[in-house]
Amino acid sequence: MAYLEAEHLCKKYMVRGSNGKSFLQAVDDVNFSLEQGEILGVIGESGCGKSTLGRMLIGLEPITSGRVTYDGRKLEGLMKEDLRRFRGMAQMVFQNPFDTFPPKQTMQNILLRVMKIHHIGADKEERRQRCLRLLEEAGLKPAEDFLNRYPHELSGGQLQRLSIVRSMMLSPSFLVADEPVSMLDVSVRADIINMLMDIRKKKNTAMVFISHDLATTRYISDRIVVMYLGRIVESGGTDQVLHNPQHPYTKALLSYCGSVDPREKREQVEVPGEAFAGAGERSGCSFAPRCFMACGRCFREQPRMETVEEGHRAACHCMGGKSKTE
């Protein structure tokens, strides 16, 4: 049994449109499992449901249907039994390091409060010492100096390190990192990614790393799932997905991935229009209106995930050059 399992996870939001209430399917039948110490990259365009999925996994968003289990135990049960313990076990790091901390408090106050709430350390001094050690381990030296600073006195990269330190204080066994580097400069992204990999190595923490950038994700994830409008369209080992993409959407994403080398010219896949996360029922493949391979069947019947090779699956009717019928 895997450490974390998501089965048929769905999230519907009620939205008000011009013609009354309707539902928006933000996450649609998502399935995956994660072993202890494994890092799963979740890739997709803005609005495809990555954050919603991340929040559902750690109980920050009610699940519409489907289930999440940790070591075979249902999320709802774990939360009901001991919410504080569950929060200590499953943590999240957010995209914007500039507004994750209350602005008018020193880092010391912020970090010590978390420890106090979770009964870590006997007294203030012990908590402070622990804090100093954690900061040093995270490369924030001299730690003393950082503890006395206010959030606005720190750079984005430093704030994101502190945000990770805060999440890791409770030694969680599962961490959702929701676009933790998207708002940071390239020059400090490596730092944060290396820090997360280091944590995984030392603590064997399982992680879901959410990103819209395949190239960045490749450095940290063991496996990747590609999402489009709430559904997983492709999943597999990082190299499987990158070197042998099967779904037309994955192919498109790869073809638009920027390269620094001006001499490198990638053939770009045509993807007309934009993802439309509209409310209401959909029939067929949600990528069909933009897909360069779409055939009649794509508009009628939703493709199911099919195995391409061991560990590599994708949901497309026309995979592997199966011809355009009709």
- Pick from 41, 49, 97, 236 the residue near ligand ATP by CB under 6 A: 49
Q: Which residues bind ligand SF4 (CB under 6 A)?
A: 247-248, 285, 287-288, 291, 293-294, 298, 303, 316-318
Going residue by residue from 232 to 251, which x/- string records binding to another protein, judged by CB under 8 A? ----------xx--------
CA distance 288 to 304: 14
Our CB check for ligand ATP shows the closer of 165 and 315 to be 315
| Residue 51 touches ligand ATP, criterion: CB under 6 A | yes
Return the residues of window 28-67 that contact Mg ion according to CB under 5 A. Answer: 51
- Pick from 263, 320, 321, 326 the residue near another protein by CB under 8 A: 263
Residue written as token pair 């945000």: 163
Backbone φ and ψ of 18, nearest 5°:
-65, -30
Our CB check for ligand SF4 shows the closer of 200 and 317 to be 317
CA distance 35 to 29: 20
- The residues, ordered by sequence, that sit 6+ positions from 179 with a Cβ below 8 Å of its Cβ are 50, 94, 95, 210, 211, 212
- Pick from 5, 10, 12, 24 the residue near ligand ATP by CB under 6 A: 24
Return the residues of window 60-79 that contact ligand ATP according to CB under 6 A. Answer: none
- The residues, ordered by sequence, that sit 6+ positions from 15 with a Cβ below 8 Å of its Cβ are 21, 22, 23, 24, 279
Residues that bind ligand ATP (CB under 6 A): 13, 15, 24, 26, 44, 46-52, 212, 277
Residues that bind another protein (CB under 8 A): 45-46, 155-158, 185-191, 193-194, 212-216, 218-219, 242-243, 252-263, 268, 271, 274-275
Residues that bind Mg ion (CB under 5 A): 51
